[in-house]
Structures are given as structure tokens and as C-alpha cells.
Chain A
Amino acid sequence: MKIKAIAFNTFKEAIRDRILYLLLFFAAVCIISSRLLALLTVGDKVKIIKDVGLSSLSLFGALMAILMGTGLVFKEIDKKTIYTIISKPIHRYQFLLGKFFGLVLTLFIMLLLMSFIFLALVFFHTFTIEWEMLIAILFIFFELCLITSVALLFSCFSTPILSSIFSLAFYLIGHTAWGIETLIKKIPPGVGKTLAQFLYHFLPDLENFNFKTEIVQHLDIPSDVYLYSILYGIFYTLFVLIIAVLIFRKRDFI
């Protein structure tokens, strides 16, 4: 329940942040401008709108997670509000988890808002509410949870700017993990190959959460692929959170 108290306060604080609404605004601009893009290209207009829309959701959701996630813990330490919290009968892991869930709740609401804009736009073209889009969005949410935990992890020992850069790198590399995979096949055995293999296994493959193409193209996805992605998301997030707690527990608040 202490976690809940911290989570709700974090949420209350987060939804006051102007950055959030700036990003929300740009997300809306991107989603809506996909219509413009669709007019300029040949081919299935609705597909382009869906593709661009879902990508915007993922990108701006990730930016929100990173910019908020890296600032939240740092701000509490910087402004020393953490002093009075940690001196109460509360464990440090409870504080960190409270921050995590508060942010996840914020992102959930933001994702809902963006989805609403997106689905409304699709509705104007197809005159049906395409509920299966929500599956793709659900996996975007799983991805955002993971990114939030990574942002929190970095913010436990580094400044917001550095943490944001690290987290952004994590996001970009995570979406190009297949690139590392092909790299591994091409380079000869040696130090370089081992390093690439290490990176490939240690960094997450965020493409596991990317069902945009399949859903937009109405392709069949076996249910065990879904299950794998869900478990992958949960365990990776847990793993990152545990490391964050281990670092946070030993930290001096000076």
C-alpha cells in the first residue's frame, strides 16, 4: 500500500508535466499528418495511415517514458523530497516500484489518448472501429513498461540528460537488434563476433513487441508468439527493475 501511495503521487506529479502534453501534441500531429502522407502515395491509403499511426504511438510513447522516467527519481533526489520519504518506515525498493507504477499508469493514460485519436482517424476512412489495432497497441504498452524500467535504472546513478541518451540508445538498438544478428553471421569468429553475440543476447529485441505489420496486413499470428512476447516483456522488465533496486539500495543521497 505504501507503493500505491507513492505511485499515485508520482502519477499526480507526472500529469502536470508540460513535456507530456508537448509530446502528446506532436504525436497527434504525426498521426493526423499520416492522412497527408497517404494522399501523396499510391497504394492502400488506410494501410499507410495505420502504419504511420502505430509507429507514432510507439515512438512518442517511448519518448514520454524516457523523458519522464529519467527525470522522476533524479528530481526527488535533487530537490531532496526523497529525504523525508526514505526516513519514513519504507523500504527503498518500495519507493522505486512506486515510481515505476506511477509512471506506467501515466503512460497507460497517454497511450489511451493517442489510441483514441488514432482509432478516430481510422474510423473516418473505414467507418469501422478496428479493434484488432488494440492488440498492436497492447504490445506497444509492454514495450513502454520495459523502456520505463530502463529509464529508471539509468536515473538511479546518472543525470537526466545522460540517462535519456542511454535510454534512447537502448530503444534504437533494441529495434535494430536484427541488424546485430545479421552482423554476427557476416563477421568471422574472433573478439568482434563475441562482442556482437554478447550484445545480441544482453540487449533486448524490442521487435518482439512489434506486431504492426502483421496486424495491419491482417496476417495470422500463432498464439504462442503472443505468449512468448508477453513473457519476454514481463521477465525483461523484472530483470531490469531488480538491477535498478540493487543499485538504488546502496546509493547515498547527498
Chain B
Amino acid sequence: MATVLKIENLHKSFKLGFLLKKKEILRGISLSVEQGEVFGYLGPNGAGKTTTIKCILGLIFPEKGNIEIFGHPYLSPKAKEKTGFLPENPYFYDHLTASEFLDYYSQLFLMKKEAKEEKIKSLLRLVDLEDSADLQLRKFSRGMLQRIGMAQALLNDPSLVFLDEPLGGLDPLGRKEIRDIITRLKDEGKTVFLSSHILQDIEMICNRVAIIVNGEIINQGALHDLISEKILFTEVILSGVNEKELKELGECLSGHGDRTLLKVFKEENVEKALQLAQSSKGKVHSLIPRTETLEDLFVGIVKQR
């Protein structure tokens, strides 16, 4: 597989305040993204995700480091021709209507008139804003702005798309809509670089992730390599069973009324717990096996520091 994006040893600091004190934001970021994957860039707020993306797109200039997009130096127009970008909390010219806005941006790609109209129509369909084509952006809801932002990122049919917290601040329905679009992009063979501080989002759609904390990448790799899929423990909720007997099978946690939450670590003990419930005419209310999640990994790593 071809490498689409390659970042080596990226450093960036901001000069802040009256005394222009230097604050290091990125401390040697290196990562690479392969063609066709959905790459998750994961980190807590303020870790430097947006800063990294802004460096890649030439909005800010790193002090040190090397960035290549499709083998081109990153600031070259050739690299930009093939990339798209949806910023965090996007805001656009609110006096334009959705189609005027896309028309304006398509002029920056020197698109031909007919191709342009065709493209705008199909993009509005893709992001489900056909009915709002003539609505001014000031009247758009958060979710609609995010979707029109997605449309402008795709105007040039990019092979690589940068999405900065694309699901941020959306309701469940809005999140699903954006997730579906990302899945579509993946199916079309595009490479997606997705930043987020929300683990579930990344877990659901990404093939590979890099975890950034405090301006450094602390872990990088395929999702199933980072997280073990073995069952850590099983949570069983029972009622009508003698607690003393249960204690031998695992850890008894709180109970509501006569219900007991049992944390079982050995697989054979799960069976025993079920048998116990049956023999004492008790009830099993739920049984959930817990595997390690990205969250566990993440919390573990962040705690270590």
C-alpha cells in the first residue's frame, strides 16, 4: 500500500502573552497514513490535534519537521489539489446560500461550469442538503453546517480528506449522518484522516489510530493490535441468589434491592454463577462480557504520565 501522508519529527510552538513566552505544542510528531484507510488521530482536548492538521495544510508553519502528501512537498499546489479539509466547528460566510457557497469555493479549483454544477448538485445530495440549497448559511443548524462543510471538503474529489472533530457538538442523529458519509468515502477508496477526542467514534470507523497526548504520539498502530480482544471480565446481574455463595465466584459489587452485580474474572465461574441462579430459583437479569476498549487503553496511558 502506498503511503499517502508522511509526517516526520514535526515541532511547533506558539509565542504567547505579552512577553511572548514560548510554549511547545507539538514535540516531534511522526506518523504515516496509508492509502484507503480511515486513520484516527486521537487525543484529549488541547493535545495538539488541530495544530497538527493546521501544519499539514499550511495554515501555520512548523519550526522543524517534514511533511509529504502523495510524495509532494506539502505546500505545493499539487498536494493541495488532492486534499480536502473540514475544520473544527466550521463557520462559513453566512450571507451566502449553500449553493452560492459551494459555487464560490469551486471557482478556487478552476472547475468548468458544467462540471461544477453537476458536482455541486451531487454533493448537496450526498450530504442531504438538497432542500436547503437556497437557504442562507446563517440559518443553518450546527449539523447542517457540519454537512455543508463536508461538501466543500469534497468539491475537488480529493483522495485524502482531513476531518477535524467532524462529530463534535452533534446530536446522535447528526453524528450518524456524518459517520455514514465517512463510511461512503472509505468505500469509494478515499483516505480519511480523522481527529477526535471521542473514543467511540474512532473505534467505530477507524482502521488505524495514533494517540497524541501533550504534543507527542504515544501509541500508533492497527486498532486490533492496540486493544486486546480477550474478555477481561464478565458482569452478571442476578437476583434471588445467596450472596455468600456468589462471593466465591467473583467480586460482588453493589446491589439494588435484591439484585447483585457480580464481576466474574474466570470463564468457568460464569457457568457456575448461571447454574447457581438456576438451582436456587433466582433470576439472571443481564450478562455482559467486557473486552478492553480504546478507552481503557487511553485512560491507562494518560494516567501513566
A binds B: yes
Q: Which residues of A contact B (CB under 8 A)?
A: 1-2, 4-6, 9, 12-13, 16, 79-91, 250, 252-254
Q: With A83-B87, A253-B54, A253-B59 as known contacts, state yes or no: A88 contacts B105, CB within 8 Å.
A: yes
Q: With A80-B87, A81-B91 as known contacts, state yes or no: A5 contacts B59, CB within 8 Å.
A: no
Q: With A and B bound together, what is the CA distance between A27 and B105 in angstroms?
A: 36
Which residues in chain B, 64-116, are within 8 Å of chain A measured between CB atoms? 77, 80-81, 83, 85, 87, 90-93, 95-96, 104-105, 107-110
Q: Which residues of A contact B61 (CB under 8 A)?
A: 250, 252
In this assembly, does B152 line the interface, its C-beta being within 8 Å of a C-beta of chain A? yes
Which residues in chain B, 138-194, are within 8 Å of chain A measured between CB atoms? 149, 152-153, 156
Q: Which residues of A contact B87 (CB under 8 A)?
A: 80, 83-84
Question: Contact partner of B108 among A79, A82, A83, A89, CB < 8 A?
Answer: A89
Question: Contact partner of A13 among B14, B85, B93, CB < 8 A?
Answer: B93
Q: Which residues of B contact A4 (CB under 8 A)?
A: 107
Q: With A and B bound together, what is the CA distance between A87 and B149 in angstroms?
A: 13
Top 8 closest pairs, chain A to chain B, by CB = A5-B107, A252-B60, A89-B80, A87-B57, A89-B77, A87-B85, A88-B108, A253-B59
In this assembly, does B240 line the interface, its C-beta being within 8 Å of a C-beta of chain A? no
How many chain B residues sit at the interface, stated as a range, is 20 to 34
Find out whether the CB atom of A16 lies under 8 angstroms from the CB atom of B57.
no
Find out whether the CB atom of B90 lies under 8 angstroms from the CB atom of A84.
yes
Q: Which residues of A contact B85 (CB under 8 A)?
A: 83-84, 87
Known interface pairs A79-B91, A84-B105, A91-B77; 13 further A-B residue pairs with C-beta atoms within 8 A, sorted by A's residue number:
A2-B110, A12-B95, A16-B95, A80-B91, A81-B92, A81-B93, A83-B85, A86-B59, A87-B83, A88-B109, A89-B109, A90-B80, A253-B54
Q: Which residues of B contact A81 (CB under 8 A)?
A: 91-93
Q: Which residues of A contact B152 (CB under 8 A)?
A: 84
Q: With A and B bound together, what is the CA distance between A12 and B96 in angstroms?
A: 9
Q: Which residues of B contact A79 (CB under 8 A)?
A: 91
Q: With A and B bound together, what is the CA distance between A88 and B84 in angstroms?
A: 8
Chain A residue nearest to B93 (CB atoms) is A81
Q: With A12-B95, A13-B93 as known contacts, state yes or no: A85 contacts B108, CB within 8 Å.
A: yes
Q: With A and B bound together, what is the CA distance between A79 and B91 in angstroms?
A: 7
Q: Which residues of A contact B149 (CB under 8 A)?
A: 84
| Residue among A1, A79, A80, A91 with most chain B CB within 10 A | A80
Find out whether the CB atom of B105 lies under 8 angstroms from the CB atom of A252.
no
Q: With A and B bound together, what is the CA distance between A134 and B10 in angstroms?
A: 57
Q: With A and B bound together, what is the CA distance between A90 and B77 in angstroms?
A: 7
Chain A residue nearest to B101 (CB atoms) is A9
Chain A residue nearest to B79 (CB atoms) is A89
Q: With A and B bound together, what is the CA distance between A216 and B58 in angstroms?
A: 53
Q: With A and B bound together, what is the CA distance between A230 and B95 in angstroms?
A: 36
Instruction: State how many angstroms separate the Cβ of B161 from the closest Cβ of chain A.
Output: 11
15 sampled A-B residue pairs with Cβ under 8 A = A4-B107, A80-B87, A80-B90, A80-B91, A82-B59, A83-B59, A83-B87, A84-B85, A86-B59, A88-B105, A88-B109, A89-B108, A90-B108, A252-B59, A253-B59
Instruction: State how many angstroms separate the Cβ of B108 from the closest Cβ of chain A.
Output: 4
Q: With A and B bound together, what is the CA distance between A2 and B107 in angstroms?
A: 6
Q: Which residues of B contact A90 (CB under 8 A)?
A: 80, 108
Find out whether the CB atom of A84 lies under 8 angstroms from the CB atom of B77.
no
Chain A residue nearest to B12 (CB atoms) is A252
Q: With A and B bound together, what is the CA distance between A4 and B104 in angstroms?
A: 10
Question: Contact partner of B57 among A86, A91, A254, CB < 8 A?
Answer: A86
Q: With A and B bound together, what is the CA distance between A233 and B153 in angstroms?
A: 40
Find out whether the CB atom of A9 lies under 8 angstroms from the CB atom of B93.
yes
Find out whether the CB atom of B104 lies under 8 angstroms from the CB atom of A5.
yes
